[in-house]
Chain A
Amino acid sequence: KQEVTQIPAALSVPEGENLVLNCSFTDSAIYNLQWFRQDPGKGLTSLLLIQSSQREQTSGRLNASLDKSSGRSTLYIAASQPGDSATYLCAVSVTDKLIFGTGTRLQVFP
């Protein structure tokens, strides 16, 4: 059974820091991995999608890497801003299903 874990569970940093959020999964037989952002009381916003054949994807200040063989992905946030405060979720695609991690709650303070 696929299990997805995210570390740390919570993170509080001052504005301007570069951050790394970690995601690990137990079964490397995935089709892709997706990172989402969720603001309090809101839905999920897709940030990046990495296919299993890819190593990384970039969007603005965000960079996500994937090492399928070791069952790991990282989300790198450069020059963090207070507006980045949210919960970040990774999810792996297994057959047709998306299995979610436990999330990292990020707070960036001015």
Chain B
Amino acid sequence: DAGVIQSPRHEVTEMGQEVTLRCKPISGHDYLFWYRQTMMRGLELLIYFNNNVPIDDSGMPEDRFSAKMPNASFSTLKIQPSEPRDSAVYFCASSFGINYGYTFGSGTRLTVV
């Protein structure tokens, strides 16, 4: 298995633009997580899905953020409109479940100018 695949690796966009981050989890994993990492706040859970259904989105900072998982092999995290304070590294992770480890993707480094 190629692991958790995220795209793009880097994204630079102007304030106000829409940004879409993509994630392909490991095949067979029932859980998918979106995390954000910043120097100030470390790793924060934004939202997670179980069997393609959003379970907990309490970490999503604002209505500008939305996430979808239309099928078991694909998820998106969208920011619209983007702001400079959204600059961070966004990680996707997947897992078989609570008794199993998590596998992380390589992340997307987002810079909003």
Contacts and interface: CB of A to CB of B under 8 A. Distances in A.
Nearest to B98: A31
Interface of A: 31-32, 34, 36, 41-46, 49, 51, 89, 91, 93, 95-103
Contact of B45 (A42, A89, A99, A103): A99
Contacts, number: 53
B98 A93 contact: yes
- Chain B CB within 10 Å, residue with most, of A32, A91, A96, A102: A96
Contact of B91 (A44, A51, A95, A96): A44
Contact of A103 (B42, B50, B97): B42
Contact of A97 (B56, B100, B107): B56
Interface residues on B, range: 20 to 34
A45 B43 CA distance: 14
A98 to B, nearest CB: 6
Interface of B: 31, 33, 42-43, 45, 48, 50, 55-56, 91, 93, 97-107, 109
A96 B48 contact: yes
Nearest to A100: B43
A73 to B, nearest CB: 15
A89 B31 contact: no
A65 B69 CA distance: 36
29 contacts: A31-B98, A31-B99, A32-B98, A34-B102, A36-B104, A42-B106, A43-B91, A44-B104, A45-B104, A46-B102, A46-B103, A46-B104, A49-B100, A91-B43, A93-B98, A96-B31, A96-B48, A96-B50, A96-B56, A96-B97, A97-B33, A97-B45, A97-B48, A97-B56, A98-B33, A98-B45, A98-B102, A99-B45, A100-B42
